[in-house]
Each structure stands twice: as structure tokens, then as C-alpha cells.
Structure 1
Amino acid sequence: MIACLRPLSALILAGLLTACATSSNSGLGELPRTPNASIEQLLQQASQSKPEEAALLRLSAADLAYQQKDLARSTAILGQIPLESLKPAQQVFASTLNAELALARSKPKAALQALQHPSMQHLSELPVTQQVRTQRAKAQALAADGQVLAAAKERIYFAPLLEGPAVIENQEKIWTLVSSLPVDQLQPSANEDDLSGWLTLARITKTSPTLQQQQASIESWQQQNPEHPAAKHLPAALEKLKTLSQQPLTRIALLLPQQGQLANVARALQDGFLAAHFQAQQAGQNPPSIKLYDSTQVRSLDDFYRQAQADGVELVVGPLEKPLVKQLASREQLPITTLALNYSDNSQEGPAQL
């Protein structure tokens, strides 16, 4: 293949560069994009090209390797490109790809460091597709680093740039983030209307004594905030709650860690549930009974769900630990509707019951 490429190098180079770059305003330089060529073809052509053209081709090759999940090769190719010799647009592209590679290796701090490159000051001047890609990587890095509120803010910030299915997908991720925050962090911000709306909605779901009262509060919030994205399209988890509120529940399971690093957080959640249950009883209502399960003692989710079914559980609230949430998200079906109290870093949608 290489021998065949050489006689046509000039023609191929012209075609590759046309497919490989998008023009940019001012002096920011060209943005690479993956052309209809193999990694080998791109690298071969780069070896015969001038430095600036070669950098574009190598960036495209590194990106193509990343898209093909060949992380080692993508990293190696990217390492051959001197970042400081690139134009600003290319530096943004390379830094974003570097962050994505770091995330793929579960190194969120390295990803955030990559996204602090000075070229990021030009991000708003680049095509929307690049803006979204870079900001999505930042949101993922913040979430993976435990900066949940900051990750939600980042997703809210670039939400207006999205269209089609990506809009709803991003909203679901915003909800997953804000709903995982403890109640004391769900304080509305006067200067950030969209964020305040999300935080208020999350607070409602955590502080309502019963599912029926929760549903009434959600509907009231929607009426008061008709233009909020979540009011127009309620998160899937809240749609499930709406269905649950219309069904008589007799027993709810709290699947929380009773020991370990998350025990204090779990105890606060548990106390909140029990207090709401007591308030509902005092008000003359008949709330479902609550059964406690220690998630640190769960060795098999299948065994847990079998036991919960035997105990008559109709709704599981929890778990809180990310590894368990990740296991749930990887399943196609769950035997009992489950409201997880944390988010999974996985990109999969998860079972319908989660």
C-alpha cells in the first residue's frame, strides 16, 4: 500500500488535507477532522509532508486511533506532535484529545490539567462541534474527580450548543449529577437560573415525605418554571417516580452502607427517610414500610434482589457506592425498580428499572 501511495502523494495530500481540516476564522489555524483514510495512510502521508501539514495529518491519525479505542497508539501518535508548535485551534484539539485519553485511563486530574492549556481561551471562537467536545470532556473529568456540582455547571453551560438527541442525553446527565448531591449542597443560586432550577428540583425529590407529596411538589415546580429544560422534559427518573406515585407501595428498601467512608452520608440519608416516614404517619397517612439493607454486606446483587423480593420490597432506594451503581447500570433488566443515589461514570443508558 505504501508503494502505491507514493506516486500519487501530491493528489492524495490535497484530498486528505481537504477532508482533514476545517477552516477557522482569524489566525487560529485549521482544525483537523478524521478523513476517509486509514491510520497508516495518514501517517505515511504525514511523513512526506511539510511540518504544518504533517501535524494536521498526525492529529487526525491520533484521533482516529482514539475513536477505534486503540489508546496506546493514539497516545504514541499524539506524543510525536510538538504541542507548542501548533496553531491555537490545533492546540485545543490536541489538548482535548489528551484529556479524553487521560479519562479513558481513569486519570481525571491529568485530563483537567490538559484542558488548562492557554489555547482554551480561543475555544468560543472555534466550531460548535469542537466546543461541545472539549466542554463535554471537561464535564466528564470534573465528575470523575468528584467535583459533581462543577460538572453539572459545565454541562448546563454548553447545553445551548446541543441539538437533537444530545439535548436530552445531556439533561439526563445533569440530573444524575445534581440528584447525587447531598441536600445541604442543593442551595439555589440567584445568578444562575438554570442551575437553581435543577438544584431546587433535586431538593424537592430528597425532602418530600411521600411519593405523592413529591409528585405534587414536582408538578408545582413545573408550573412555576415552565421554561426550564427539566420542566419541558422531565428527567426519566422523575417520570418513573410519577408512575410509582400512582401505584400503592407497601414496602421500600433502603440499600445503604452502614460502615466505611460513606457511612456518615448514608446515615444522614437514612435519617431523612425515617423522619419523613414518621411525619407522614403523624399526618395520618399510611406510608410504605421501610426495610434497611447494609450495602457493604452485599456480595451479589442477584442475591440481594432475590432477598428483597422475598421480603416483599417494591422499590429499592440506593445504592450509594459507585461500584454498585456501575454494576446496576451495566445490566439489561432489574427485578425491582431502583433509584440509585449516585451516578455511574459509564456512558451506557442502563436498565429501564434504574
Structure 2
Amino acid sequence: MTTDKEKLQQTSARVTHGFQPINRLPAPFMMRDRNLFSPSLALLLILFIISGCSLNKPKYGTGVSRETQSVAQSADKLLAQAKQQSFPRNIELIIQAAGQLQAIDTDRAKTILDSIKYDELSPKLQASLALQQAYIADKKGHSQDVFSWLEQPVIMESNDTSILRSTHIMKAKAYNRFGEYTASLDEWIDALPMMSSGQKEQYSPILWNTLLHVPENRLQALSKIYTDNDISGWMELALIYQPGTRLTDQLNRLIQWKQQWSNHLANRYLPENLEALQKRSHKPIQKIAILLPTSGHLEKVGKSVQRGFLAAYYRDRRAYEDKPELLFLNSDGDTIENLLQQAYNSGAELIIGPLEKGKVEQLPQNGSPIPILALNYSDSNDSSIPIENLYQFGLSAEDEARIVAERAWLDGYKNALILSPDNNRGEKIQKVFRDTWQQQGGTVVLNKEYDTATQFSPLLGKLLNLPNSQQRAKKLSQLLNQSLGFEPRRRQDIDVIFVAASPKDARQIKPALAYQFAGNIPVYATSNTYSGKTNRTQDRDLEGIRIPVMPWFGMSSTEQQQLKNAIQATWPLSKGSYGTLYALGADTYILHTHLQQLISLPGSSVQGLTGALHISPNGRVSRKLRWYVFRYGKLASLPLSSTRY
């Protein structure tokens, strides 16, 4: 009987680095050595995989529509036919079957397509396979995979109209999801002349979303180049929605646009009752009541927001008599009922605040006679249901966790490890990331909390199964009675890591990952990982971490930079950890000046120091942030093809 030691000796000559499985056959269609893969063997393996797909197909029974059952039966019929055909006809049928399955079961469709070796196909089949893979990536929201498949030479060099149209549409959608709106618009412009009226109607919401975010100078330049009626109508409408224009002027121009483009598809995006909106827009807000804690334990927080608000107020170019009167009410130690009553009695037409979360959750759930712009988010009410005249704006780490999950998913990752501090804030952040990740279709492989006493290197080594790899190598060495060239092998089912960490903790986590042979796993974090100041010596330990950053810290317009400079010159405290609160205060003033516009013209936005701001249908102010990556100790813009780093 062969002993364990003899079995190991028989294979020891093949052991080099790591503890990799041996005698494992590569996937049938991914073999690279043509000499080892004869056409007859290829056909046998194709038939085997098709049979597996058929035998293991899901049961579409009770509760499934007849249409779904019909599609599944049609696809299974094609797969059965493929078993009777030789190459390449069988591949054509397999790809056709996967194309049908996309509508009802993208996972099964992808499994089928992944079994096909791309490099062995003719250019025609390569194009068909690449397009089907791109369709699935687009449906799943994996934008980086969309680009990878559509950048295949057979697609990029094609002159086929249907391929070109599909390529431009999918790229436009992928760029839009990444927030690369100018690139997205370029793709839409190429696609529109090739699209049917039904396709134009189908994709108009995404096209409109793209146009709303393209810079004004780019829209103006393009409107002079493209005179096609279809494109020109879209451009002119998007130019009207640009921020910086008074609502009264916008509404006048919208009425003119409607008269000129009465039959244009974009009419569906005009607000209802334009004339009624026009009448209301002539009355600017005369008085604002601002509820902030200017004493007590939140005094520094409240005063930072207040100062940021005043900085924006005094930089407002309007004449003094056109600016609203301000009434500041100290919210510390007072009830929300009393504060609201004071504001109402004062004749205020807008209330800003409160800042304290507890008071925000006590705001009237049945609405308010005048608009309230709260400076925090409530967790107590159903956030999907809007409350009349209630809007909520704040700097929520939970919102950033959602933004991070969405970006990592767009970049094509699927299996996440979450690291978060063992406290209430960490629990909330990791929960939002986890929920968003799973809703998108991702898997949370591990979710681990840490505390101030945590040693990150041993912790990460354990999470990544390094001790098990080391134990196996030790046993092998003992059985062979010889020293082996060995590199521990970490677990391979994690392709992305999210850390909700402070700068101090993140500077320990990233080097620990490298030490535990996981330095190549992409790491995403919230902006809390950035201290707010460039420190190239310390932040070298953050190399490669990807974070969303508000304009206060990153790239900003000239006007935004001037406002930031004015704040920091007046209040040095704003250069430190309180800086984001000054930015919040400044953006609150900017937001109030565009409040009617953002409410009346859905989809419109305004640029602020905390991000690009727009109001969701539920009354919550959302922020769009730019993405950065730590390179050589400082922040650099994260390129679109971030997965190639």
C-alpha cells in the first residue's frame, strides 16, 4: 500500500512555489496549447459541457410565466441541437441559446458563454461571443467588463451597423454609470443616427441623465457642430438646465423651447405646469431661520457650519437688498417644537436645520407649511416616501459606503471582504456597504470588525487562510524530510476589500495586506481614510487605496477654490478636521439659492464644495463625488480602467 510520504515523493518534482493543486485539468475551452487539444477532443468536451448545462438547468415551474418557460425551452432546444452538430455550427447554436437565456437567467447564460474558448473562434463568432458577454456585463452593471469585451479588435474594427450601434449604446451606458458623462455623450451622438425610434424612446432616460451632467462649454461646442434636429433639440434643452441661471430665466427659455420643439422626444422631461412654476419663481425667499447648536458639546460643529454658510452668503454677488434676512436660533437645549414655532412666528420662508440627528427625526412627518432643509438624515422614517416641504442634506458616511459599493461593482468585482471598526459608526457603514453590495448581486465573503488593540497582520493572515497554507507546507516538508521553496498561498475567493478605516488604521491595514500576500487585491475606502492633508511620508502606506473625495479636498472649479480660500483665510480651524463642516455650511447656502430650481426641474444639479448636489424624489440631497487613488503618498485621479492597476 502506498504511504502518504510515497505519494508526495512521486509528485515532489513538480512542486515549485506555493501549494498549488496538481494534476488539475484546465477548463476545456481555455487551453492555450493547440497541440494538446485535438479537434475531436474539443468536440467531445463541448458536448460534455452542453450536456452539463442541460442536465443541471434550473427548473422553470410554478410561479414562472409562460413566456419565461417558452424562452427556456427554446434555449434548451438549441443546446440539444448543438450536441448533434460539429464545430463551428455547434458554437453558433450555443451562443444563440445563451442570447435567449439572457432575458431570464443571466447567470446561466454567462456560464454557458464562459465555457467557450474565444481564441479558437472565427472572427464572426468572436464578435458574436464578445457582444453577448458585453450584453450580460451591461445587464449586471459591470461596466469595466463591458469595456473589456467591446475593446476586442474584432468589435473595434467592425463595419457592421448593428455591432456599431450596440457598441456605442453599451459604452454610453457604461460611461454614464462611471460618471464619465462627456465620454458617454460622445457615444450617444454616434449611436443616435443608427437607432430606431423605439430605441431612442427606450434609452432616452439615460441619454437625458447624461446630458444633465455634461459641462456647459462642451454642450455649447457640440451644439455648433451637430445641426441634426434630433441631437440639436436635446442639446438646447440640456443647456437650459445648466446651473447658474435664475429659475425665472430657465422657465422662460423652457416655454420657448417647447414652442420650437413641440414634437421632440425630450418634451417628456419638461416639468408640468410651466406657466404656474413661472409665476411662483418670481418671488425670492426673503427670510431664513437657521437652527444650529452654537453652545454645548456640539458648539464647534454648529459654529463651523454657520461660518461656512456666512462665507457663501457674503460672497453672493447679488445686491445686499436682494439677499435674504438671516435669523440664527441656537438649537442646543431647546425642543424642535419650540424652535419651529419661533421660526414660523418670525415670518421665515425657509428653515435650515436642525443639525442634531435626534431633532431631525422629530421633525413633523405630515409635512411643513414652509420648506425645511435639515442638515442631517433621519433613520426613523421610510426614506422612500417624501414628506411635503422636508429636504435632508448632510455628510453621511453611510452614503459614501453606498457610493463605494456601487463603484467597486462597476469596476467588475464580485466577492468582497469588509473590514470595519467595532463601534456603532463602523456597524452602520459596513451594513450599508453589505446591503448595497448584495442588492447588486455581489457576495460578501467575510465581514470582520476590529478594535483599537487589533494587530492587523495576524488578523488578515487568518482571514486569508495563510496559516492553513503554512501548515500544509510544513507537513509536506516534514514528510519529504527536505526544505522546499515555498510561498504561502492565500485564499482566492476574495477579489475586493472594503475598509471603513481612519487614516491611522488604513496605514496599518494596507502594508499588512501586502505582507500577507494580498497586496494585489484592490482596496476601496470612504473618504474618512484621507486625513485631508497631503503627507507623502505617512500616506505612502495607503498606496493603491481608492476613495471618493469631495471638491473641498480634490479638484474644484475656480469659484469653489476662491470660496474655500476665503474660508480658510478667515477661519484657520477650517484647515483641519472641521473643514468639511465649513464646506457643508457653504453648500447649504448654495443649495438654498437653487432649491426651487432643483425641486421644479428634476434631474438638475448644482456644484458645491461637498460634491455635485441634486435632490432625489424622496427629498434627500445626494452627492456625486470624484474618485481618487493614493499614488506615491498623494491623491491622484482614479482612471476609468482602474482594474488594470
State the TM-score, normalized to the length of structure 2.
0.35
In structure 2, relative to structure 1, the CA distance for the partners of 1:318 and 1:100 (3 Å cut) is farther
Alignment equivalent of 1:101, drawn from 136, 149, 153:
136
Work out whether residues 46 and 57 of structure 1, in 8 Å CA contact, stay in contact via their aligned partners in 2. Answer: yes
Equivalent residues of 2:82, 2:93 under 8 A apart: yes
Larger Rg: 2
Match for residue 43 of structure 1?
79
Question: SS at the partner of 2:159?
Answer: helix
Write 1 or 2 for the structure with the bigger share of strand.
Answer: 2
Shift of 1:115: 0.5
Structure 1 residue 182, shift from structure 2 partner: 5.4
Find the aligned partners of 2:118 and 2:190 in 1 and give their Cα distance.
27
Q: Select 1:119's aligned residue among 154, 157, 174.
A: 154
Structure 2 residue matching 1:78: 3-state secondary structure: helix
One of 210, 215, 218 as aligned partner of 2:254: 218
Deviation at 1:114, TM superposition (A): 0.9
Counterpart of 1:91 (choices 85, 108, 126) is 126
Q: 2:90 aligns with which of 44, 51, 54?
A: 54
1:5-63: CA deviations, max 9, x gaps?
xxxxxxxxxxxxxxxxxxxxxxxxxxxxx999522221121122011111110001111
The yes-or-no answer on 1:240 pairing with 2:503 is no
Shift of 1:165: 3.4
Secondary structure of the structure 2 residue equivalent to 1:339: coil
Partner of 2:377 in structure 1?
A: 297
Report if the CA contact (8 A) 1:138-1:154 is conserved: yes
| Other-structure match for 1:21 | none
Deviates further, 106-115 or 212-221:
212-221
Give the counterpart letter for 2:379 in structure 1.
Answer: R
The match for 2:116 among 81, 85, 88 is 81
Output the CA distance in 1 between the equivalents of 2:601 and 2:394.
9
Alpha-carbon contact 1:251-1:291 (below 8 Å) kept:
no
How many angstroms apart in 2 are the aligned matches of 1:295 and 1:317? 6
- Residue 191 (1) aligns with residue 225 (2): yes
Q: Distance in 2 between matches of 1:119 and 1:58?
A: 19
**1:209, 1:280 within 8 Å by CA — same for their partners in 2?**
no
Cα contact 1:152–1:177 (8 A) shared by 2: yes
Letter in 1 for 2:102: Y
**Amino acid corresponding to residue 53 of structure 1 in structure 2:** R
Q: Report SS of the residue matched to 1:38.
A: helix
Report the secondary structure of 1:51's partner residue: coil
Q: Does 1:134 align with 2:214?
A: no
Helix, strand or coil at the partner of 2:112: helix
Match for 2:96: what amino acid?
A: S
* Distance in 2 between residues matched to 1:280 and 1:241, nearest whole Å: 32
Q: Deviations over 1:295-319 (max 9, x none)?
A: 762436746966x52xx46xx7999
Match of 2:186 among 153, 168, 179: 153
CA distance in 2, matches of 1:121, 1:132: 12
1:166 aligned residue (174, 178, 199): 199
SS in 2 for 1:234: helix
Q: Report the Cα distance in structure 2 between the residues aligned to 1:111 and 1:150, rounded to whole angstroms.
A: 15
Q: Which amino acid aligns with 2:80?
A: Q
Amino acid at match of 2:253: S
- Residue by residue over 1:175-221, the C-alpha shift from the partner in whole angstroms, topping out at 9 and shown as x without a partner, is 21121345576552343456676455334323464433212223455
TM-align CA RMSD: 4.8
Residue 294 of structure 1, CA deviation: 5.5
Q: Per the alignment, do residues 337 and 203 of structure 1 end up closer, same or farther by CA in structure 2, a change over 3 Å counting? A: closer
How far 1:106 sits from its partner (Å)? 3.3
CA contact 2:251–2:278 (8 Å) conserved in 1:
no
Residue 106 (structure 2) pairs with residue 71 (structure 1)? yes
Instruction: Give the Cα–Cα distance (whole angstroms) in 2 for the partners of residues 143 and 71 of structure 1.
Output: 22
Q: C-alpha distance in 2, partners of 1:115/1:137?
A: 9
Deviations 1:243-273 (A, max 9, x none): 6524536799xxxxxxxxxxxxxx9xxx79x
Partner AA of 1:206 in structure 2? Q
Distance 1:295 1:304, change over 3 A: farther
SS at match of 2:221: coil
Asked if 1 retains the 8 angstrom alpha-carbon contact of 2:376 and 2:392, the reply is no
Structure 1 residues 240, 291: CA separation in 2 closer, same or farther (over 3 Å shift)? farther
Verify the 8 A CA contact 1:251 1:290 in the aligned structure 2: no
Q: Greater helix share, 1 or 2?
A: 1
* Alignment correspondent of 1:339: 602
- Report the CA distance shift for 1:290/1:58 in structure 2 as closer, same or farther (over 3 A): farther
Listed as ranges, the gaps of 5+ residues in structure 1 are: 1-33, 253-266, 327-335, 343-349
Structure 2: state its 5+ residue gaps. 1-69, 286-307, 324-347, 353-372, 407-598, 606-615, 620-645
The whole-number CA distance in structure 2 between the counterparts of 1:149 and 1:317 is: 29
Confirm whether residue 178 of structure 1 aligns to residue 211 of structure 2.
yes
CA 88–218 in structure 1, closer or farther in 2 if over 3 Å, else same: farther
Q: Say which SS state the counterpart of residue 141 (structure 1) adopts.
A: helix
CA separation in 2, counterparts of 1:177 and 1:53? 41
Question: Any conservation in 2 of the 1:186–1:203 contact (CA below 8 Å)?
Answer: yes
What TM-score, normalized by structure 1, do the two folds share?
A: 0.59
Letter aligned with residue 152 of structure 2: H
- d(CA) in 2 for partners of 1:167, 1:305: 31
Once the 2 structures are TM-superposed, how far is the Cα of residue 170 of structure 1 from its aligned partner?
A: 3.0
Percent identity, aligned pairs only, is 20
Give the 3 Å change call, closer, same or farther, for CA 232–103 of structure 1 in structure 2. closer
How far did residue 172 of structure 1 move? 3.3
**Number of matched pairs:** 273
CA gap of 1:74–1:181, structure 2 versus 1, over 3 A, is: same
* Greater RCO (CA < 8 Å, at least 6 residues apart): 2
Code of the aligned partner of 2:174: A
Q: Deviations over 1:86-129 (max 9, x none)?
A: 34343222212212222344321121111001112454324x3x
AA aligned opposite 1:339:
P
Deviates more, 1:96-105 or 1:291-300: 291-300
